Chains A and B, each alone.
Chain A
Amino acid sequence: DVKVTQSSRYLVKRTGEKVFLECVQDMDHENMFWYRQDPGLGLRLIYFSYDVKMKEKGDIPEGYSVSREKKERFSLILESASTNQTSMYLCASSWRLAGTPYEQYFGPGTRLTVT
C-alpha cells in the first residue's frame, strides 16, 4: 500500500512566522504535489515536483515555496504566514512514467491555523 505521511495533523502559527510542512512518501514516486483545500473552493494546486530539485508552480503559488532535496520528501514553506493561509494542506504523490502515472495518493492532511 502507498503511504504518504505529513509531519503534523494540526498546526497553529502566528502571523509572520515561517512555517514548514513536511511530506514523505514510501513508494519511490517521482511526482509530488501540494494542495490546499478550502470550503467551497475544493482542492487547489500550490506547487508540484516531478523530480528531485525540480519544482513547478501550480495554480496558487503566491506566498509559498517548496523544497525537494530527496525523492521521498517534499516540503511546503510559508515564508511569512498570514491569516488567509489558514487552510487544510494536502500532500500527494504519483508515478511519473511507469505504473499508473495519473493516480495521486494523498496524505492525511495538515490543518493549519494562522492567528
Chain B
Amino acid sequence: GQQLNQSPQSMFIQEGEDVSMNCTSSSIFNTWLWYKQDPGEGPVLLIALYKAGELTSNGRLTAQFGITRKDSFLNISASIPSDVGIYFCAGQVSQGGSEKLVFGKGTKLTVNP
C-alpha cells in the first residue's frame, strides 16, 4: 500500500529559528494535509493542499504540494515555544470508492526558549 516517508523524525531548535519538514512517497496523492498534535491531544488540521504546485500559508506556516504530487513540505517561520508538538503529513487516496488518509509517522518538534 501507499506509504509516506516523513523527515526529520525529530528536531531541536531555538526560539526564533525557521523550521522545515517534508513528506515523500513513491505514490501519487491528490490531496496533502498537515496536522499538529499537542501531547495528549488529537491532531489538529493546519493546512490542506488540493492542487499540484499549490503554496498555502496559515500565519507563520507555509506548505507546498509538490509538482510531482509525490511530496509536500511544511515550513514554520520564527518558531515560538507553543510550536512544540508532533507534526504529521497525510495524503489522500481513493480506495474502493472511499476516501482515506495515509499518515506519515510524524516530526517531533522541540523549541528551546
Q: How large is the interface on A (under 10, 10 to 19, 20 to 34, 35 or more residues)?
A: 20 to 34
B88 to chain A, nearest CB (A): 7
Residues of B within 8 A of A34 (CB): none
Residues of B within 8 A of A56 (CB): 96, 98
A69 to chain B, nearest CB (A): 20
Quick check: A90 and B45 within 8 Å, CB to CB? no
Q: Is A74 an interface residue (CB 8 A)?
A: no
Q: Is A61 an interface residue (CB 8 A)?
A: no
Instruction: Determine the main DSSP class of B at the interface with A.
Output: strand
> Binary interface profile of B, 67-104, with partner A (CB < 8 Å = 1, else 0)?
00000000000000000000010101000101111011
Q: Is B109 an interface residue (CB 8 A)?
A: no
Give complex CA distance A4, B58 in Å. 22
Task: Using known A-B contacts A40-B105, A41-B105, A102-B31, determine if residue A48 contacts B45 with beta carbons closer than 8 Å.
Answer: no
Q: Is B42 an interface residue (CB 8 A)?
A: yes
Of residues 86 through 115 on chain A, the ones whose CB sits less than 8 Å from some CB of chain B are 90, 92, 94, 96, 100-109, 111
Give complex CA distance A19, B102 in Å. 27
Quick check: A102 and B103 within 8 Å, CB to CB? no
Task: Using known A-B contacts A42-B106, A102-B33, A103-B33, determine if residue A31 contacts B99 with beta carbons closer than 8 Å.
Answer: yes
Give complex CA distance A25, B48 in Å. 20
Q: Which residues of B contact A (CB under 8 A)?
A: 1, 30-31, 33, 35, 40-45, 48, 88, 90, 92, 96, 98-101, 103-106
